Amino acid sequence: MISNFLQTPIDYLKGVGPNRADLLKKELGIITFQDFIHLFPNRYIDRTKYYKINELQQSNADVQIIGKITHLKMVEQTKGKRLVATYKDETGSMELVWFRGHKWVKESLKLNVTYVIFGKTNWFNGVFSMAHPEMELLEEHEQNLRSAMQPIYPSTEKLSNSGITNRVINKLMQQLFIESKNKFAETLSPEILNRLKLLPKNRALFNVHFPESQELLAKAIYRLKMEELFYIQLQLIRKNLIHKSKIKGYPFDEIGTHFNTFYKQQLPFELTDAQKRVIKEIRNDLGSKAQMNRLLQGDVGSGKTIVALMAMLIALDNGFQTCLMAPTEILSVQHYNSLVEMCSKLNISISLLTGSSNTSQRKEIHQNLENGTLDILIGTHALLEDKVKFKNLGLAIIDEQHRFGVEQRSKLWHKNEFPPHVLVMTATPIPRTLAMSVYGDLDLSIIDELPPGRKEIKTVHRYDSNRLKVFKFIRDEIEKGKQIYIVYPLIQESETMDYKDLMDGYESIEREFPKPKYQISIVHGKMKPADKEFEMNRFIKGETQIMVATTVIEVGVNVPNASVMIVESAERFGLSQLHQLRGRVGRGADQSYCILMTSHKLSADAKARISTMVRTSDGFEIAEVDLKLRGPGDMMGKQQSGVLNLKIADLIKDSDILKIARSLAWEILKDDPALKKPENASIRSAFEELVRYKNIWNYIS
């Protein structure tokens, strides 16, 4: 089949026309034949089974029933009229209801003639009803062959209101198969089909729309899922390979004085195996002639900072400058302090640039960057300002990637003629399957091991009514010399109200923990940066025992003496946020605690989040639950959800297929990067078509 056929606008399919085409486009995004043929059924129902009215169950499911309309009446309601029919079979009676299209229904329906109706039943006050049933005269019904696996297509209210019912879609699909003569070009190579025992493309397409048997349907679905995931992986991996071959980077082949001195003499602790492995991966990237583009995932507290430092030392040893960008001022300051301390014995110049750096500080930084005397620059978004010009930026490290937009990331690249190597660090564990699909074009390093000696943080759920006991617990911990975080939600839309909650909470804590015995810090987003820093520093230095804060402290803050994290209104936080917050404690040698406070009213999702937190502290496990609760689109944010808009595969349920698809794509591209070998011809042409018509890069950074 020539590919142009599939690019025919859907308007040209017999039975569609401009109005329907418009609806299909608006409601389902269907523009071409190609789109339509890839409109896959959500599920299949058995149309060879007929129910008796007395067999109906209260759970509403799709059923078909043979019976007769005995009576038709109009019922007036405050909200409008509805047309109600009494529908009977030999076992009982039920109602059919129409809220719209009354005229047409009244004119076309016949009383006391046998129909087959199909639709979802509702049960109310002892009566079953079906709204807007699909109806066919029994005679007609018997002429149309019914399948035990009738596809049910995705639909919208607008579509069914406009008469584009499931049956209509089904008919149109038949029409398309007739017009195409079911000759769809094969998109996978014979070798793959053979090895994985996959159905050919046209067989699979036919069976997904018109199943010949359960077995063939299952095979069809498997084949189409494999194909979908394979081409996503092929694009991602290809992009990665092209990147590596085309985008040159400065080769850092020296492992010199700074790195060696630090590694041999100044390491503050022994590195974990995971840290060593990741540093090796980074060294390999930096030593190659391609630009590094690596994502470093590691749970909170897994020790990413030292990895970043060692990567920076390699850059310095090769005569380049480096920068480390963090999402908040507090975090930048903390990075600055810990790097200055760790590098105190090395001859390195480090500066901090944030929104609150003053003019003379900025001037000095700008100068030293340009003349090359400044080695490491740490800071916030301020690093992206136009005046910041490096003499030779060789490595850019970005901490907590999810806080930065894609454009911001690429801005750093344009500081130089050669792009610097880029290391993005995140403490938000992304389930592997999702990472493979969304970040498949980045290289991935994972620190999957915490430094030794960490005690598991004890996590409990407490209701607001138990507050007094919680206060007593806080008092006891402070007695032991420990520090406490109390975090309030701050969600933008209701900021004023949240702000009030925070202030009320602060006041009640002040009453409960009076000065001068107790000192309390408060940090929130409405404070001036300098005030925030001042309060934060009091807590870091141990001058205050309690830190009342909003989620501004979520990321990266490190106060090892803090042993208790109390999260107020924990039901309002997302799982990854709760996990981040909990990661603020458990950084010292002593037992730490996380107390999740909630009201008694909890939604099912909130309960699931809280119980997950209580059950496990494994960031990857938490991320998996998060993915199940929220779905991949929400989890990754808007920009990336496009690629996850899969037609048939499901990233969670089909992770096994994804793994096979990914290794297959790797194998093929390794052997034949340009897809030029004759045996890959079908893959190449399918791939080119995909890139031509559906450029998934619109969605990906």
Residues of this chain that interact with ligand ADP (CB under 6 A) are 269-272, 275, 298, 300-306, 427, 451, 558, 587
Report if residue 619 touches Mg ion, rule: CB under 5 A.
no
User: Tokens 């930048």, residue?
Assistant: 332
Contact between 327 and Mg ion per CB under 5 A: no
Output 451 or 633, the one with its CB closest to ligand ADP: 451
Shorter beta-carbon distance to Mg ion: residue 420 or 556? 556
- For Mg ion, which stretch binds (CB under 5 A), given 36-44, 217-225, 443-451, 549-557? 549-557
Q: Would you say 302 or 321 has its CB closer to Mg ion?
A: 302
> Min. distance of Cβ 383 from ligand ADP in angstroms?
19
Structure tokens at 262: 């630090």
Task: Please state the closest distance from residue 312 (CB atom) to ligand ADP, in A.
Answer: 13
| C-beta closer to ligand ADP: residue 301 or 419 | 301
394 or 556: CB nearest Mg ion: 556
Residue number with the smallest Cβ distance to ligand ADP: 303
Looking at residue 616, its amino acid is T
List the single partner that 67 binds among Mg ion, ligand ADP, none, CB under 5 to 8 Å by kind.
Answer: none
Q: How far is the CB of 279 from ligand ADP (least distance, A)?
A: 11
- Residue 9 CB, shortest distance to ligand ADP, in Å, is 52
When CB distances are held under 5 to 8 angstroms depending on the partner's kind, the choice from Mg ion, ligand ADP, none that residue 291 binds is none
**CB closer to ligand ADP out of 255 and 271:** 271
d(CA 370, CA 321): 10
Relative to beta strand 62-77, strand 80-89 is: antiparallel
| DSSP per-residue string spanning 363-426 | HHHHHHHHHT---EEEESGGGGSTT---SSEEEEEEESGGGS-HHHHHHHHTTSSSPPEEEEEE
Segments in 513-654 forming alpha helices (H): 529-540, 575-582, 604-615, 619-636, 638-641
Residue 269: CB minimum distance to ligand ADP, A: 4
> Beta-strand (E) ranges in 125-182?
127-131, 134-137, 150-152
Question: Which of 411, 381, 376 shows the shortest CA–CA distance to 395?
Answer: 376
Cross-sheet strand order for the sheet of 376-379: 350-353, 376-379, 321-325, 393-399, 421-426, 293-298, 443-447
**302 interacts with, out of Mg ion, ligand ADP, none, CB within 5 to 8 A per kind:** ligand ADP
3-state SS string for 175-215? HHHHHHCCCCCCCCCHHHHHHCCCCCHHHHHHHHHCCCCHH
Stretch that binds Mg ion, among 66-74, 465-473, 552-560, 625-633 (CB under 5 A): 552-560
Compute how many other C-beta atoms are within 10 angstroms of the C-beta atom of residue 51: 16
State the burial class of residue 335 (Cβ atoms within 10 Å of its Cβ: 0-12, 13-18, 19+). Answer: buried
Maximum CA extent, the chain: 96
Q: Which does 419 bind (CB under 5 to 8 A by kind): Mg ion, ligand ADP, none?
A: none
The span from the CA of 333 to the CA of 319, in Å, is 25
What's the CA gap between 584 and 593, in Å, rounded?
A: 10
269 binds, among ligand ADP, Mg ion, none (CB under 5 to 8 A by kind): ligand ADP
Helix (H) or strand (E) holding 66: strand 62-77
Question: Is the Cβ of residue 249 or residue 556 nearer to Mg ion in the bound state?
Answer: 556
| Token pair listed for 49 | 């089974």
Using CB atoms, what's the residue nearest to Mg ion?
A: 556
φ/ψ of residue 191, rounded to 5: -60, -45
236: left (phi over 0), alpha (psi -120 to 50) or beta: alpha
CB burial of 565-593 (b: ≥16 within 10 Å; e: otherwise) equals bbbbbbbbbebbbbbbbbbbbbbbeeebb
- Minimum distance of Mg ion from residue 556's CB (angstroms): 4
Least CB distance to ligand ADP at residue 615 (A): 22
Residues 6+ positions from 569 with CB-CB distance below 8 Å: 488, 489, 501, 597, 598, 599
Handedness of CA 426, 428, 429, 434 (dihedral sign): negative
Binding site partner of 660, from Mg ion, ligand ADP, none, Cβ cut-off 5-8 A by kind: none
Least separation in angstroms between CB 326 and ligand ADP: 10
Closest CB to ligand ADP among residues 304, 421: 304
> In the complex with Mg ion, which residue's Cβ is closer, 302 or 640?
302
Please say whether the beta carbons of 261 and 410 come within 8 A: no
12 binds, among Mg ion, ligand ADP, none (CB under 5 to 8 A by kind): none
The one of Mg ion, ligand ADP, none whose footprint includes residue 303, by CB under 5 to 8 A per kind, is ligand ADP
CA-nearest of 434, 461, 470 to 608 is 461
Q: Which is nearer to Mg ion, 556 or 632 (CB)?
A: 556
CA 409 to each of CA 369, 406, 464, 635, 697: distance values in angstroms, whole numbers, following the listed order: 19, 5, 42, 20, 16
Q: How far is the CB of 546 from Mg ion (least distance, A)?
A: 23
Choosing among Mg ion, ligand ADP, none, which partner's interface includes residue 328 (Cβ < 5 to 8 Å by kind)? none
* Residue 298: contacted member of Mg ion, ligand ADP, none (CB under 5 to 8 Å, by partner type): ligand ADP
Instruction: Quickly list H helices, 10-100.
Output: 17-28, 33-37
Of 327, 420, 489, 556, the residue at the interface with Mg ion (CB under 5 A) is 556
Which residue lies nearer to Mg ion by CB, 324 or 388?
324
**Least distance in angstroms from the C-beta of 311 to ligand ADP:** 13
Q: How many Cβ atoms are within 10 Å of 201's Cβ, its own excluded?
A: 22
| Residue 451 binds which of Mg ion, ligand ADP, none (CB < 5-8 A, kind-dependent) | ligand ADP
Query: In this complex, which beta carbon is closest to ligand ADP, that of residue 39 or of residue 555?
Result: 555
Nearest Cα neighbor of 45 from 30, 61, 33 is 61
What does residue 366 show for φ and ψ, rounded to 5 degrees? -55, -45
Q: Counting contacts by CB under 5 A, is residue 249 touching Mg ion?
A: no
Q: How far is the CB of 684 from ligand ADP (least distance, A)?
A: 42
Residues 561, 567: Cα–Cα separation, whole Å: 18
Nearest approach, Cβ of residue 354 and ligand ADP (Å): 19
Q: Give least dist CB 280 to ligand ADP, A.
A: 15
Nearer to ligand ADP, 408 or 558 (CB): 558
* Binding of residue 394 to Mg ion (CB under 5 A): no
Binding residues for Mg ion, total number by CB under 5 A: 1
Nearest approach in angstroms of CB 560 to ligand ADP is: 6
Pick one of Mg ion, ligand ADP, none as the site partner of residue 159 (Cβ within 5 to 8 A by kind).
Answer: none
Residues that bind Mg ion (CB under 5 A): 556
